[in-house]
Amino acid sequence: MKTYLDCIPCFLRQALAAARAATDDEQVHHRVLKLVAPRIVELPLEVTPPEIAQQVYRVVAEVTGNSDPYRKEKDRANQQALALYPQAKKIVAQSDDPLLSACKLAIAGNTIDLGPSSGYADIGGIVEQALVTPFGVNDYAGFRKSLSRCRHILYLGDNAGEIVLDKILIEELRRLKDISLDFVVREKPIINDATLADARYIGLDEVTNIVSSGSDAPAIVLAQCSPEVLRLYNTADVIIAKGQGNYESLSGERRNIFFLLRAKCQLVARQLGVNVGDAILKQARGLSPGRV
């Protein structure tokens, strides 16, 4: 997905919010904006929004000296989501279609995102929210069909806290079928995206193999990924891409990708033909699994 002019004010807002999270010094906040503004407008609109966001947050880290300004928010999200884990597991186990319920919970978890907004709704309401939020795009039938002949899944993660709900979906996938599954996290902290430390904290390493993307971009930018991630990407039968950032960076890819996200931006919602806030389970219309 290309970047639009409407994205530029959002990037400036994100820069200011991250700078304020990093320090109380208003002079530093001003310096961040003075450096971010020209860097944004110099980048071509053909690059994806996550690639521009990557530049924005690098400036914040360089100027403030804080490479992880949302660390406290990430810790809180992980802890609160873990507190929801037993309830969420019970809902999945008792539902008529446990896999569908697990997908809904994982998508609802995508609400925990400090990129599109400076905050998010109370995590305690995520379980209830998952059950009532309508699907704007529902390719669940295609998802189940792909899983029926799948041997290897590559799961592209997104945010701290959210990964607790991803863990439930992974556990359900493994319950249904003997598969190989790799989960990708960010190489370095950016926004409130999950890193290896977050994944280990919530016990994700107990149910899947965790791999670092090799990049600090807030999405999978293939040109920046490690050779290992590229190998997994090119050989996976099914790719699960969580979050709006991964949709923005991979929506043009010709692979068997299923995008699971909440539409949190008017531009993305318009491209998908949905309303802001809708749940999305969208299959990319690409090549057959295992091909590039």
φ, ψ dihedrals at 279, nearest 5°:
-85, 140
Domain C-terminal end among 64, 85, 113: 64
Residue 57 shares a structural domain with residue 106:
no
What is the rounded distance in angstroms from the CA atom of residue 188 to the CA atom of residue 199? 13
Contacts of residue 25, defined as CB under 8 A and 6 or more positions apart, other chains included, come to none
> Are 55 and 149 found together in one domain?
no
- How far is Cα 143 from Cα 176, in angstroms, rounded to an integer? 13
Domain presence at residue 1: no
Final residue in a domain of this structure, among 16, 47, 64: 64
Q: Is the same domain home to 181 and 278? A: yes
Quote the CA–CA distance of 116 and 139 in Å, as a whole number: 25
Question: What is the C-alpha end-to-end distance of the chain, expressed in Å?
Answer: 19
What pLDDT score does 12 carry?
96
Chain segment 168-186, per-residue pLDDT in tens: 999 999 999 999 999 999 9
| Residue 259 and residue 244 share a domain | yes
Shared domain check, 91 and 12: no
Backbone φ and ψ for 290, nearest 5 degrees, come out as 85, 0
pLDDT of residue 132: 80
pLDDT of the residue at 290: 40
Domain containing 26 equals: 7-64
CATH number for the domain harbouring residue 194: 3.40.50.10880
What is the model's pLDDT at position 292?
Answer: 29
Contact 194, 212 (CB under 8 A): no
- Tell me what pLDDT residue 286 has: 57
Q: Per-block average pLDDT, block size 10, for the chain (292 residues)?
A: 92 96 97 96 93 97 97 94 94 95 94 68 74 90 96 97 97 96 97 97 97 97 97 98 97 95 93 93 69 33
What is the number of domains present in the chain?
A: 2
Residues in the chain: 292
